[in-house]
Amino acid sequence: MYPTHKQIIESGLVFESNTGKLRGDEIIEVSRYLKDLKGIFEDETKRAQLDQESLIYQVQMYLPEETGAPGGLYFGNTTIFPGKVGNEYFMTKGHFHAQEDRTEYYWGIRGKGMLILMDRNGNTWAEKMTVGSLHYIRPHIAHRVANVGKNPLVFGACWPSDAGHNYNDISKNGFTARLKEINGKPQLV
């Protein structure tokens, strides 16, 4: 698996900087449909009435170390399609890290979004995500991203291989504010 001394090789991995797409043999892809997002949006009745096969977001991931291994870095991207459930924008499930002090970088590649952040005291705020914006997610901060534009939103992510995902707290209690379109613009309410 390791190259020999003085060998020059290709990495075998490509990150397309304009689209954010990852290419390589070991890239994993996950698709989230509306049917996978039960309880994520405020208006669950509305979510259940919409086409359950609608693709809401897709994730590409490169996970070169074993899950939970200390010291490794995972790399990925997420594409969120434009749309809303009622007046709440399409968004990721959102999570704390299972090892809560683990951090993460997100960066905007395409489209317009909002990175919604929440601390353990229940304060929720958001950072505007645009092409080229860079976001550092601090320890103990839950994070989710919403697409607030008319085109697909693509963002990159890099996180520690021992971070893990804690979805339970979010599926139980949600974030303490929701990002909705009010008078034509995104607002946390």
Choose the contact partner of 79 out of Zn ion, ligand M6P, none; CB within 5 to 8 A by kind: none
**Interface with Zn ion, residue 104, by CB under 5 A:** yes
**Interface with ligand M6P, residue 160, by CB under 6 A:** no
Distance CA 56, CA 11 (A): 31
**Interface with ligand M6P, residue 157, by CB under 6 A:** yes
Among 136, 165, 168, 173, binds ligand M6P (CB under 6 A): 165
**Interface with ligand M6P, residue 94, by CB under 6 A:** yes
Structure token digits, residue 42: 């405020």
**Interface with ligand M6P, residue 158, by CB under 6 A:** no
Q: Are 37 and 130 in contact (CB under 8 A)?
A: no
CB of 185 vs ligand M6P, minimal distance in Å: 24
CB of 96 vs ligand M6P, minimal distance in Å: 10
DSSP string, the chain: -PPPTT-----S-EE-TTT--EESTTEEEEEEEGGG-TTTSS-HHHHHHS-TT-EEEEEEEE--S-TT-TT-EEEEEEEE-S-EETTEEPB---BB-SSTT--EEEEEEES-EEEEEE-TTS-EEEEEE-TT-EEEE-TT-EEEEEE-SSS-EEEEEEEETT---B-HHHHHH--SS-EEEETTEEEE-
Among 59, 98, 177, 188, binds ligand M6P (CB under 6 A): 59
| Chain residues 96-155 in contact with ligand M6P, contact rule CB under 6 A | 104, 144
**Interface with ligand M6P, residue 56, by CB under 6 A:** no
The interface region with ligand M6P, picked from 15-23, 62-70, 92-100, 110-118 by CB under 6 A, is 92-100
Footprint on this chain of Zn ion (rule: CB under 5 A): 104
Footprint on this chain of ligand M6P (rule: CB under 6 A): 59, 76, 78, 92-95, 104, 144, 157, 159, 165
